[in-house]
Amino acid sequence: MIRSKLPNINASIFSVMSQLANEHKAINLSQGFPDFAVSPKLISLITKYMKKGENQYAPMQGIMELRQIISEKTEKLYNRKYNPETEITITAGATQALHTAISTLVKEDDEVIVIEPAYDSYVPVIKLNGGRPVFVQMKHPNYSIDWNEAKKIITSRTSLIIINSPQNPTGATLGAKDMEELEKLVKGSKISIISDEVYEHIIFDDQKHESVAKYPNLAERTMIISSFGKTFHATGWKIGYCIAPESLMKEFRKIHQFTVFSVNTPIQYALAEYLKNEEEYLKLPEFYQSKRDFFIERVKDSRFSIIPAKGSYFQLLNYTGITEEKDFDFAVRLTKEKKLASVPISAFHHNKLDTKTLRFCFAKSEKTLEQAAKILCSI
Ligand SMILES: Cc1ncc(COP(=O)(O)O)c(C=O)c1O
């Protein structure tokens, strides 16, 4: 037997719940993927570039046309210019970007601040690099961050803080006030930041996404990560990007080139052309807000209580008062007996903190959401 590098890591909760959903023919609102079609225009653009012969290795950092348009989009939306030559790299989805970014920034014995409940791919990569995650808990049920708590756990070994807004799994967003607090927290330190912004275009109620790019004192020390899989309803394509100041990006690319080297070529060309029409991503808040509202309108009279989602495509429902069961047990029972799969929030806490809350993905057709809501109302 080999000695495991990640002895306590098992199959992710998304795989577990999705498999259970398949076995029991349940509606799957557990994993975060859309059940509606990708734009036919985008698909025909990929075909176009494949037929044109764009099927060989792309440059290591991604094709220039795509990096250029990401640079323009970032400047327009967040008022900061990143040099496409030296500060933007195309990645095989946000997962690879996160893996590479964490590997770039975390060394043996470094401490990394992770805000929980947290997306599950941060902690294993911190550990793989010999780092130690230290946790700040967002406050259930409104999931705000007490930045004083983060301040208290900073030591001389703290090398990195990972933030995520709009947030998976809570749907919480960071506002301008949070960014000011974060600025104060890292001021005068050598702490780097990874800002996971994969849901940057899925934000509701007329809020503006507070990208780190908008804050010069933060941007100078931050790797920002985004995902076209999330933005264009194509999670299976695994394509995203990282943007960071040149000194950080130089180190990121050293690892990136030996992780994937480069990312599939025809999709890069297709996205570069597709992104010219900014409506394709600017329409997303309205698109997803109407799905959120459709879903909550139909579950509002159920016995679940709704925790408002300010962004992302996840809706939290609290079931205190329905049963005393642990969230994992309840999620499994809902899948097996009621044919509806969700994700228990304890899975996003290192200590399995159970707030009796489940996460439901509403990136689904109205028909699917309607069926799911009916089940929830029957409980
Ligand atoms: C917060 C967050 N970051 C990163 C990812 C990974 O994105 P990708 O599918 O592009 O690897 C996800 C996917 O669920 C996510 O929710």
Interhelix angle 366-377/284-299, nearest 10 degrees: 30
Q: Which atom of ligand 1 is nearest to the CA of 98?
A: 4
CB 95 near ligand 1, within 6 Å:
yes
Q: Is the CB of 240 under 6 A from ligand 1?
A: yes
Q: Specify the pLDDT at position 127.
A: 97
> Which pLDDT does position 316 carry in this prediction?
98
Q: Are 261 and 291 in contact (CB under 8 A)?
A: no
First CA to last CA distance, the chain: 46
Q: Are 345 and 117 in contact (CB under 8 A)?
A: yes
In this structure, are residues 317 and 334 in contact, taking their beta carbons and an 8 Å threshold? no
CA of 297 to the centre of ligand 1 (A): 27
Q: Over pLDDT 90: what percentage of the chain? A: 96
Q: Are 327 and 358 in contact (CB under 8 A)?
A: yes
- 33 C-alpha to center of ligand 1: Å? 10
Q: Using one digit for the tens of pLDDT, what is the confidence trace for 232-268?
A: 999 999 999 999 999 999 999 999 999 999 999 999 9
Tokens 């348009």 belong to 69
pLDDT (mean) for 202-220: 98
Determine if ligand 1 sits within 6 Å of the CB of residue 93.
Answer: yes
Q: Is 119 in the pocket of ligand 1 (CB under 6 A)?
A: yes
pLDDT class for 12, splitting at 50, 70, 90? confident
Q: Is the CB of 91 under 6 A from ligand 1?
A: no
**pLDDT score, position 227:** 98
CA of 40 to the centre of ligand 1 (A): 23
**From CA 240, how far away is CA 96, in angstroms rounded?**
9
Q: What is the pLDDT of residues 325-368, one digit of tens each?
A: 999 999 999 999 999 999 999 999 999 999 999 999 999 999 99
pLDDT at 202: 98
3-state secondary structure the chain: CCCCCCCCCCCCHHHHHHHHHHHCCCEECCCCCCCCCCCHHHHHHHHHHHHCCCCCCCCCCCCHHHHHHHHHHHHHHHCCCCCCCCCEEEECHHHHHHHHHHHHHCCCCCEEEEEECCCCCHHHHHHHCCCEEEEEECECCCCECCHHHHHHHCCCCEEEEEEECCCCCCCCCCCHHHHHHHHHHHCCCCCEEEEECCCCCCECCCCCCCCHHHCHHHHCCEEEEEEHHHHCCCHHHCCEEEECCHHHHHHHHHHHCCCCCCCCHHHHHHHHHHCCCCHHHHCHHHHHHHHHHHHHHHHCCCCCEEECCCECCEEEEECCCCCCCCHHHHHHHHHHHHCEECEEHHHHCCCCCCCCEEEEECCCCHHHHHHHHHHHHCC
* Domains of the chain, first to last: 13-31+283-377 (3.90.1150.10), 56-277 (3.40.640.10)
Instruction: Say if residue 11's pLDDT is above 90.
Output: no
Phi, psi of 367 (to 5 degrees): -60, -45
Taking the centre of ligand 1 as the mean of its atom positions, its distance from the CA of residue 228, in whole angstroms, is 10
Cα dihedral 344, 349, 354, 356, rounded to 10, equals -40
* 172-186 residue pLDDT tens: 999 999 999 999 999
Mean pLDDT across the chain: 97
Whether ligand 1 lies within 6 angstroms of the CB of 213 is answered as no
For ligand 1, whether the C-beta of 164 sits within 6 Å is yes
User: Tens of pLDDT along 289-324?
Assistant: 999 999 999 999 999 999 999 999 999 999 998 999
pLDDT at 1: 87
Burial 280-312 (b: 16+ CB within 10 A, else e): bbeebbeebbebbeebbebbeebebbebebbbb
pTM confidence score:
0.97
Write down the pLDDT at residue 142: 93
Candidates 14, 100, 163, 198: which one to mutate for ligand 1, based on the most atoms within 8 Å of Cβ? Answer: 198
Q: Which atom of ligand 1 is nearest to the CA of 227?
A: 10
Q: Which region among 6-15, 21-30, 273-282, 345-354 has the lowest average model confidence (pLDDT)? A: 6-15
Bond into 285 cis (ω within 30): no
Buried b vs exposed e over 117-132: b needs ≥16 C-beta within 10 Å? bbbbebbbbbbebebe
Q: Which residue's CA is minimally distant from atom 14 of ligand 1?
A: 32
Given a contact cutoff of 8 angstroms between Cβ atoms, the answer to whether 118 and 98 are in contact is: no
Rounded CA gap, 180 and 309, in Å?
22
Q: Which one, of 359, 367, 375, 373, lies nearest residue 315 by Cα?
A: 359
Q: What is the pLDDT of residue 321?
A: 87
Q: Evaluate: CB of 197 within 6 angstroms of ligand 1.
A: no
> Could you give the CA distance from residue 105 to residue 248 in angstroms, rounded to a whole number?
9
* Nearest atom, ligand 1, residue 164 CA: 1
Chain segment 142-160, per-residue pLDDT in tens = 999 999 999 999 999 999 9
Residue nearest to atom 16 of ligand 1 (CA): 168
